[in-house]
Each structure stands twice: as C-alpha cells, then as structure tokens.
Structure 1
Amino acid sequence: MDAQTRGVLFDVDGTLIDSSYFHALAWWEAFRQFEHKVPMSAIHRAVGMGGDKLIAHLLGEDRDESEDAELKATHGAVFGTYWPSLVAFDGARGLVRKCAEAGLAVVLASSARERELRVLRRALDADDAITAATSSSDAEESKPAPDILVAALEAGDLRAEDVVYVGDSVWDVYAASKLDIPTIAVTCGGTSEAELKEAGAAEVYTGPDKLLEAFATSLLGQLAAG
C-alpha cells in the first residue's frame, strides 16, 4: 500500500490550538447572558461536543430550546473576541509538518465555522503541510457523533482503517471509536490522562511537542512506516 493512502486526522481546538478555555469562558458568558448559572468546570468538561449537544448536556432536555440558536450565536460572538489571543501549542506546527514529511495525508477534522477555521489555520501556520480540512458545514450531527470524521476521511480520500486521529477530549475519543479509528490523545486541552484512557485513547501525551518527540515510536510513526 502506498504511504500516501495513510493519514492522520487532527482535531484543532484544544489539540493544536490553545483555545479550550476560551471556549469555556465564551459559553459561560453566553449562559450568563441568558441567566443560566452553569459552573465553568462543567462547561469545560463538555467542550469538544458540538454546540447543540453541549447546550442539551448542560441545561437538560427540559430547557427552553427556543434559546439554543441565540446561545450558540452568543458563544460565537464572545469567542470571536478572543481570536487575537489564539496561539498554536508548542510543537503543533512541527508535528503537522512531520506527519506530512513522513508521507501521511494531514486532514484537519475541525467542527469550527469557516471564518473561525481560517483564524485557527492562521494561528497554526502550517497550510503547506495540510491536505484538506473540514468545517461545521460538513457534518450533519456534531461530536460525539462521528460525522465530522467521516467528512474528514472523504476530504482526504482516506479509509478509516488507514488513519489515526489526534484529539484532546473524551468526545473526540468517543467519535473516533464509532469508526474504529484509534485515537492519540493530548492533555493540553484540559482533560486528564486517566479520563482519556478510560474513554479509550490508545496513547496519551501532554501535548503536540511530546507527541512530536515520540513520533517514531508512536502510532503515527508506526502508521507512516507501514
């Protein structure tokens, strides 16, 4: 099998870009504006879900669903104020480029809106190594459903059995497991190693820099070696 038919799918928020806590703060502010008192810790643990599922998860199925669209819009508006502060994690750029140099197709499996994705890609600054990318418009159902990963596979012309997924939340691991894709998890998004392993992560590193250091012996290195 040609190595280029193998690939890596990357979650972006909290995995390559240091944005998870900005998302938590933006959701907290959105809920606050609608007079919902939701602890920041609970919000952070739900970050990684799609916005629709995050709202249902935190406010319950008996909530006033007519607020959902405005809550998501408010979150997006508040999060947008943090765009200038978004930076890539140490090693993120190098990891993406290392994967490409090793012959792996690199696909950003992002659920961000198109405009937001452009901001994230600018912060990552590795477009020369990226094969394809997805956005929220590519998935009918959000994580932990696997739709965005299915879209990423299609975008990269890849098969589930030929890829590894790199993510930072239990929702990433759950989504990938539905397609039998092994997940390499990183704790830099704020989720502990124990939680990620319990969810089913095959490997866990503290961040992209440590995964890059261990590339040769990681699942990524094994995949590239065939």
Structure 2
Amino acid sequence: MADTAIFDVDGTLVDTNYQHALAWFRAFRRFDITLPIWRIHRAIGMGGDQLVTEVAGEEIESARGHDLREAWTEEFDLMIDEVRPLEGAKDLLEEVKRRGFRLVLASSGKAEHVNRFLELIDGQDVADAWTSSDDVAASKPQPDLVKTALARVSGASAVMIGDSVWDVIAAGKIDVPSIGIRTGGFSTAELEEAGAVAVFESLPGLLADLDDTPLGHPTPRAA
C-alpha cells in the first residue's frame, strides 16, 4: 500500500509524445544529424540530459548536447499550443485525491512546459505538489525525480503512474511500484517487463479498475 500517488505528466496526463519526438528530430536536423523518428520516440520519457546519449551516442552528447537541448526547446515551443489533455486525466486525478492519496505531478520536462500542461488539467488545483527536471540533477530513467516527488509531500511510500518504460524503471530503482498506461506507445509486455504491476490502455480504463490496483486505498497516515 502507498500514501502517495506520483503521476508522470508528459504522455500520461497530456498528449505530448509525438510533438516531443518531432521537436527532437528537427533539433538534430539543425546539426545535420538525421535519426529515425521511431528511434527518437522510443526514448521519449527520458529527460533531455539522458536522451541525446541514448539516441545519438556519447560523442554527440559531448559535442552538441547543450545546443541540441536548446534547439529542442525552440522547436517544441512552436508546437506547444497543439498539446491537449488525455481523456480522463482530470477525473482520474480528482478520484485519486478523493480517496486520500497525497498527489504529486512529476515530469522530466522543463518547468515552464510543466506549468503550461498543469493549466490544461487544472493540476495546480488538485495536486499537493509538482516537480520538473529543473528540480533534479538527473532525469528519468534515474530515480531522482521520483525521490523528489515523494519528498515534496513527506510521503512514506508511493506508487508511480506513467506511460513509458523509463517511468517504470526509474521508480523500480527505489522500489516504488508502477502502473503503466499505454498512451506512450509502449506495449503491455514491455511495460510489464520493465516492472509495472498493472498496465491499462487508457486513463479511463485505470479509473474504472482503481480498486484492483495499488491506488485502491491509501495507507492510513500517522496521527
């Protein structure tokens, strides 16, 4: 059982993954580096500090990492108005909060983007806290973001809800169970192999079956 629910934002609560992949593709093209978009998509969910090495190698990270991340920000900002909430995001957050969980919204994205996305789902009104890559030394799949999210609300134990294997891996590194949502494009088998204790096709699917997950009932808080 857990007392804290940590929700990934990008790709889990708001539909951003394909904008992210295209922005990275265009950022790499600025430096005459052409990568298959499917390969970039497979790395979405990592923070930019991890993604460049993952898809292009350490040499490109060393030579162009900072410039690529700046280019990605510029390209993504051109598409940010296209981002919409995923179906059921607000209803799910409200129900999890109603059940008594501390609620933290966490993203490997930049704080300015996260704040924009929270407005789309009224996240500031329902969440107890939120975090971004600006709050940690290393983003997913390192566990820093999960640790920071739990600490923000003085939680004792948590469950992570995310759309990518990187969310699941990050949480697993500190023994936090995860629920996978297939909105990131990863298969059920991939999410389960990474360590997810349950996988759902959508947020409404998770909402309908909350009682059968670690989000059924929170651990009672100490007096």
1:20 and 1:44 in contact (8 A); partners too: yes
2 CA distance for matches of 1:150 and 1:225?
21
2 CA distance for matches of 1:61 and 1:128?
41
Identity over the aligned pairs, expressed in percent?
A: 38
Q: Residue in 2 aligned with 1:78?
A: 75
Alignment of 1:2-151 (within 5 A): 6-63=3-60, 65-151=62-148
Find the residue that maps to 2:215 and give its secondary structure.
helix
Deviation of 1:201 after TM superposition, in Å, equals: 0.6
Alignment of 1:136-215 (within 5 A): 136-159=133-156, 162-215=157-210
Deviation of 1:63 after TM superposition, in Å, equals: 2.6
Q: Residue in 2 aligned with 1:217?
A: 212
Unaligned stretches of 5+ residues in structure 2: none
1:12 and 1:110 in contact (8 A); partners too: yes
- Letter paired with 1:102: R
1 CA distance for matches of 2:192 and 2:137?
28
2 CA distance for matches of 1:77 and 1:140?
22
Deviation of 1:62 after TM superposition, in Å, equals: 2.8
- Letter paired with 2:103: V
Q: Normalised by the size of structure 1, how large is the TM-score? A: 0.93
Unaligned stretches of 5+ residues in structure 1: none
Deviations, residues 159-180 of structure 1 (Å, cap 9, x unaligned) = 2xx2110011111111000110
1:102 and 1:224 in contact (8 A); partners too: no
Deviation of 1:113 after TM superposition, in Å, equals: 1.5
Query: Superposition RMSD on alpha carbons, in Å?
Result: 1.7
2 CA distance for matches of 1:222 and 1:153?
18
Q: Normalised by the size of structure 2, how large is the TM-score? A: 0.94
Deviations, residues 16-73 of structure 1 (Å, cap 9, x unaligned) = 1100111001001111111111000000001111112110111112336231111001
Deviation of 1:225 after TM superposition, in Å, equals: 8.1
- Letter paired with 2:213: S
Aligned length: 221
1:97 and 1:126 in contact (8 A); partners too: no
2 CA distance for matches of 1:205 and 1:158?
25
Deviations, residues 98-148 of structure 1 (Å, cap 9, x unaligned) = 011001111012222221111110111232210000111211011111001
2 CA distance for matches of 1:182 and 1:26?
31
